[in-house]
Structure 1
Amino acid sequence: MSEFSKRLTNLRESRDLTKTKMANKIGVSLSTYANWEYGYNDPDMNTLGKIANILDTTVDYLTGNTDDPSPRSSNLSSTDLADMLDNVRSYDGKTFDEHDKELLTTFLKGLYADK
C-alpha cells in the first residue's frame, strides 16, 4: 500500500466517510475510488486537488511530500501574488510577458475570492 493510499484511507475514515460517499463527492465510480485506496491506481492531478479539498488537506500531504496535513492558509495578499508572479518566467516552454502575468493575476484573484 502506497503512502497516498494509506493517507487517503486514514483521512476518509477520520471524517466518517464511506468509500461510496467519497466516490460520489469526487465524481468517480466506487471501483475507481477503491482502487486508489488499495494502491492499484492513482488519481490524476485535478482529481488529487478535489480530494485534498474534500478532506481539508493538501496534495503535498496526500502524496507524502509533507507530514503536515493542515491546509495552507488561503490568505493570499496582493503583495504575495505580485511576488509570485515576479518569479514566473515561462510555462510549458513559452515565455510569460506582462500581459500574461496580468491575466494570471486576474484569474488568481477571482479564484481566491471564491474561497
Structure 2
Amino acid sequence: MLGDRLKRLRLEKKLTQEELGKKINVTKVSISGYENGNRTPDTETLQKLADFFNVTTDYLLGRTDDPNPSESDGIPEELKDPSLGLFFKELAEAPEERREQLLKIWEILKSEGDRNNK
C-alpha cells in the first residue's frame, strides 16, 4: 500500500526517485525500497513524505483513502477554532444530519452579522 501510493504521488509530481530522495534527505535506494516494499521508512521519514506530498501519514500507510481528511470534513475553516468550545465539539462529533443543521444555523448567524456590520 505505502509503495503504491508513494510511487503514484512521486510520478504525479514528475519526480525521479533520486529527486524525491534529495527533497526529503534519503537516498534513491531508500525511495526504491519504500516503493517496492523492501524497506519501511522510519517515523521521521514517513512524516517528511506526508508533509512533502501534503497528505496524511494515515493515507500513505493505507489507513484511509482520503489524503486530506481535515480538508474534506465539511466544517468551515472559521469553525475549526478550539476557542469555540461546545459548539465546535458538538459540530465535530455530530451525525451528518445534525451537522448540516448546525452549519445552517452558523450560516444564518454569519449572514446576520454581515448585515449588522454594513
State TM-score, norm by structure 2: 0.59
Give the C-alpha shift of residue 77 in structure 1. Answer: 3.3
Aligned counterpart for 1:77 among listed residues 45, 60, 81: 81
Pair 1:19–1:42, CA change in 2 (3 A)? same
Q: Which one of the candidate residues 40, 43, 46 is aligned to 1:42?
A: 40
* Deviation of the 1:31 alpha carbon: 0.7
Pick aligned residue for 1:60 from 58, 61, 69 = 58
Residue 21 (structure 2) aligns with = 23
> CA separation of 1:71/1:19 partners in 2, compared to 1, >3 Å: closer, same or farther?
farther
Greater RCO (Cα-Cα under 8 Å, separation 6 or more):
1
Quote how far apart the aligned CAs of 1:29 are: 1.1
- Secondary structure of 2:70's aligned partner: coil
Q: CA deviation at 1:32?
A: 1.3
The amino acid that maps onto 1:60 is D
Indicate the RMSD between aligned Cα atoms, in angstroms: 2.4
| Residue correspondence of structure 1 range 78-93 to structure 2 within 5 A | 78-79=82-83
Unaligned runs of 5+ in 1: 81-115
What is the CA distance between 1:72 and its match in structure 2? Answer: 3.2
Q: How many residues align?
A: 80
Gaps of 5+ in 2: 72-76, 85-118
Give the drift of 1:78.
Answer: 4.6
TM-score (norm 1): 0.61
Q: Is the helix fraction higher in 1 or 2?
A: 2
Percent identity over the alignment is 35
* Structure label with greater radius of gyration: 2
What secondary structure, in the 3-state scheme, does the structure 1 residue paired with 2:67 have? coil
Distance 1:56 1:15 in 2: 12
